[in-house]
């Protein structure tokens, strides 16, 4: 280990492994002096900054649990998150994007002082704000070694992450120290990471994709995080070129934004080699061939499964990596069952995926009421996803069970139809949903966004679909549109798409 190696780089800052240890020990000493210790909770409302890492490692050193909140949270969402997690201290940026957190927290305090923890620390100077300033945390003594039993245990929760899903409130997912480290290391192994790698992390650290995936995968291989506070394609290209990034964490919408940016040139990203992405085969291929991360890995997972439970080895041929989500990581077991009977599906047969191994021990807070619904008696997590297992155990994702279209009594996966649509050269993005129909039960409605400057020929696109899809999977309707409803992560918002189909 080289203590002077950069642990994290930003557009303007750099911190080495040794410097991070010192920074974290100062924050931890301040918290310890205020009575914080093992089992307490530290909430964090901050974008991808060095201070995020300060607080993360300080909490870990004390045996406290970090509770990172999304910087897209509104005041009402923060009200729920704070009441549900009941943190002992909150670190918050004064602002992030268009959110004024200093004002939001002030409003929450005025409405009900009990909603805020006993200590609120603003990371940015905010004169006149009724909260502590972070400035004092960066100074003062270092944390002394803790007595045995006072510090972290491998079985303690490292983080509690809030993840959106089928419920109307985000679920609280505790993840333990040992499993974040071990599973994260295995993710890094599949990518082929090493000490010389520099990994662009423009996805939020408060996601499991960040804190339970990118962070441990990178740091367990003594590599360097290159942090972007929030994703902007032009700045991301600058960071890749400036720091000669060799790996990146991306999503289809991010990849499309990078290669479609006016400043993109292949030579600017030629340093890239590996990384991870989700998406259809063409999304993986685009990241490899157009962005230049030739050994990028296809992945599958969820917050409950520590970010990823399947990753394709970077050494596989690109076509193989693009066609599936890979074998399970070490220590992970998968099974695919029939939705109605729970009987095991055969090789290649699509059913509902269940996962065990590196798995949360159960939801916390208000969402603990869902535990009986989603965890089986023998310790598997019901993912709600559909897929199949090959003879060698490789997993192929088919879509969410709730998203399936039942056309004339036959299940159709929207993801499969979308993949075929996006293989057509003139299509940039595609989204598919079902629409109730008196005769067929549901019909298949496809929305397509043409590539820039292209006039899409719907008849030719349908002819392409007839070549690639069984007749019962063909779209009954194709609508051309300027954009699709997407989440900030680039995922298709299927409820909004269904509403669009009904207009």
Chain segment 411-424, per-residue pLDDT in tens: 787 888 998 999 99
Of 163-172, 248-257, 426-435, which range is least confident? 163-172
SS3 396: strand
Query: Residue 5 class from Cβ within 10 Å (0-12 exposed, 13-18 middle, 19+ buried)?
Result: middle
CA distances from 442 to 55, 409, 500 (A): 50, 9, 15
Contact 478, 411 (CB under 8 A): no
Q: Which residues pair with 298 in a beta bridge?
A: 277
Give dist(CA 379, CA 59) in Å, integer: 29
Q: pLDDT (tens digit, 9 = 90+) per residue, 469-478?
A: 878 899 999 9
pLDDT value of residue 298:
98
Domains 178-400 and 404-501 are alike in CATH topology: no
Give dist(CA 223, CA 193) in Å, integer: 7
* pTM: predicted TM-score of the whole model, two decimal places: 0.85
CATH code for the domain defined by 178-400 = 3.40.50.12780
pLDDT value of residue 1:
63
Residue 327, C-beta contacts closer than 8 angstroms, at least 6 positions apart: 310, 312, 392, 393, 394, 395
SS3 182: helix
Q: What are phi and psi of 225, to 5 degrees?
A: -85, 130
Is the confidence at residue 330, as pLDDT, over 90? Answer: yes
* Tokens at 162, concatenated: 């809030």
* CATH 3.40.50.980, applies to 16-152: yes
Is the confidence at residue 33, as pLDDT, over 70? Answer: yes
139-156 mean pLDDT: 90
Q: pLDDT (tens digit, 9 = 90+) per residue, 178-201?
A: 999 999 999 999 999 999 999 999
Reported in sequence order, the residue ranges of 237-367 that DSSP labels E, i.e. its strands, are: 247-249, 274-277, 297-300, 310-311, 333-337, 351-356
Of 85-99, 287-301, 313-327, 393-407, which range is least confident? 393-407
Q: Beta-carbon neighbour count of residue 196 at 10 Å? A: 11
pLDDT value of residue 488:
67
269-294 mean pLDDT: 95
Q: What are phi and psi of 336, to 5 degrees?
A: -120, 125
Q: Beta-carbon neighbour count of residue 175 at 10 Å? A: 26
Mean pLDDT (the chain, rounded): 93
Is the confidence at residue 302, as pLDDT, over 80? Answer: yes
pLDDT value of residue 425:
92
pLDDT value of residue 211:
98
Is the confidence at residue 39, as pLDDT, over 70? Answer: yes
C-alpha 360, offset from chain centre: 16
pLDDT value of residue 396:
96
Give dist(CA 265, CA 477) in Å, integer: 37
pLDDT value of residue 212:
98
Is the confidence at residue 452, as pLDDT, over 60? Answer: yes
pLDDT value of residue 279:
82
Maximum pairwise Cα distance, the chain: 74
Pick the CATH number of 404-501 from 3.30.300.30, 3.30.70.2860, 3.30.1230.10, 2.60.40.2550: 3.30.300.30
pLDDT value of residue 189:
98
Per-residue pLDDT band for 503 (boundaries 50, 70, 90) equals: confident
The enclosing H or E element of 78 equals helix 75-85
Q: What are phi and psi of 349, to 5 degrees?
A: -85, 130
382-405 mean pLDDT: 90
pLDDT value of residue 253:
80
pLDDT value of residue 398:
86
41-61 mean pLDDT: 97
Is the confidence at residue 168, as pLDDT, over 80? Answer: no
Give dist(CA 396, CA 344) in Å, integer: 16
CA dihedral 56, 57, 62, 68 (to 10 degrees): 10
SS3 437: strand
What does the domain layout of the chain look like in residue ranges?
16-152, 178-400, 404-501
- Would you list the DSSP string of 117-159? -SEEEESS--TT-SSEEGGGGGSSPPPPPPPTTTS--TTSEEE
* Tokens at 99, concatenated: 């959110």
Q: pLDDT (tens digit, 9 = 90+) per residue, 72-101?
A: 888 988 999 999 999 999 999 999 988 899
Query: Residue 382 class from Cβ within 10 Å (0-12 exposed, 13-18 middle, 19+ buried)?
Result: middle
- Of all residues in the chain, what percent carry a pLDDT higher than 90? 78
283-289 mean pLDDT: 95
Q: Beta-carbon neighbour count of residue 295 at 10 Å? A: 20
Is the confidence at residue 280, as pLDDT, over 90? Answer: no
Is the confidence at residue 129, as pLDDT, over 90? Answer: no
pLDDT value of residue 487:
76
Is the confidence at residue 317, as pLDDT, over 80? Answer: yes
User: Per residue in 247-284, is it b (16+ CB within 10 Å) or e — as a string?
Assistant: bbbbbbbbbbbbbeeeebeeebbebbbbbbbbbbbbbb
pLDDT value of residue 151:
87
């Amino acid at each position: 280990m080289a203590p002077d190696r950069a642990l994290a780089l930003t557009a303007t800052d750099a911190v080495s492994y040794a410097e991070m240890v010192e920074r974290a020990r100062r924050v931890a000493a301040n918290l310890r002096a205020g009575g914080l210790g093992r089992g307490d909770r530290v909430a964090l409302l901050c974008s991808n900054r060095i201070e995020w890492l300060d607080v993360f490692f300080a909490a870990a050193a004390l045996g406290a649990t970090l509770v990172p909140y999304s910087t897209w949270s509104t005041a009402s969402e923060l009200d729920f998150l704070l009441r549900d997690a009941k943190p002992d201290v909150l670190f918050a940026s004064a602002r992030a994007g268009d959110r004024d957190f200093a004002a939001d927290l002030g409003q929450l305090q005025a409405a009900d002082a009990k909603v805020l923890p006993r200590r609120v620390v603003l990371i940015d100077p905010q004169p006149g704000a009724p909260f502590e300033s972070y400035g004092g945390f960066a100074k003062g003594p270092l944390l002394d070694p803790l007595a045995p039993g006072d510090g972290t245990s491998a079985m303690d929760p490292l983080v509690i992450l809030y993840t959106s899903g089928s419920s109307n409130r985000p679920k609280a997912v505790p993840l333990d120290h040992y499993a974040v480290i071990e599973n994260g290391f295995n993710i890094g192994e599949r990518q082929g990471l090493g000490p010389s790698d520099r990994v662009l992390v423009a996805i939020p650290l408060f996601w499991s994709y960040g804190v339970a995936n990118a962070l441990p995968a990178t740091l367990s291989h003594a590599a360097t995080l290159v942090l972007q506070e929030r994703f902007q394609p032009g700045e991301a290209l600058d960071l890749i070129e400036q720091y000669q990034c060799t790996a990146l964490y991306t999503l289809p919408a991010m990849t499309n934004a990078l290669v479609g940016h006016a400043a993109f040139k292949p030579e600017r990203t030629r340093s890239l080699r590996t990384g991870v992405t989700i998406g259809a085969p063409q999304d993986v291929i685009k990241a490899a061939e157009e962005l230049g991360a030739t050994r990028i890995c296809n992945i599958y997972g969820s917050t409950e499964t520590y970010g990823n439970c399947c990753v394709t080895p970077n050494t596989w041929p690109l076509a193989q990596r693009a066609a599936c989500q890979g074998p399970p990581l070490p220590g992970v077991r998968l099974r695919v069952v029939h939705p109605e009977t729970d009987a095991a599906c055969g090789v290649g047969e699509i059913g509902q995926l269940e996962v065990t191994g590196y798995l949360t021990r159960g939801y916390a807070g208000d969402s603990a009421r869902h535990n009986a619904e989603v965890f089986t008696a023998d310790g598997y997590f019901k993912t709600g996803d559909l897929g199949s297992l090959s003879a060698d155990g490789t997993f192929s994702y088919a879509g969410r069970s709730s998203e399936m279209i039942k056309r004339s009594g036959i299940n159709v996966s929207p993801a499969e139809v979308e993949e075929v649509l996006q293989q057509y050269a003139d299509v940039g993005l595609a989204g598919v949903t079902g629409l109730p129909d008196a005769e067929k039960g549901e019909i298949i409605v496809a929305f397509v966004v043409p590539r820039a400057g292209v006039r899409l020929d719907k008849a030719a696109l349908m002819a392409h679909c007839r070549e690639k899809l069984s007749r019962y999977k063909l779209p009954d309707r194709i609508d051309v549109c300027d954009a699709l409803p997407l989440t900030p992560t680039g995922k298709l918002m299927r409820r909004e798409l269904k509403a669009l189909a009904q207009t």
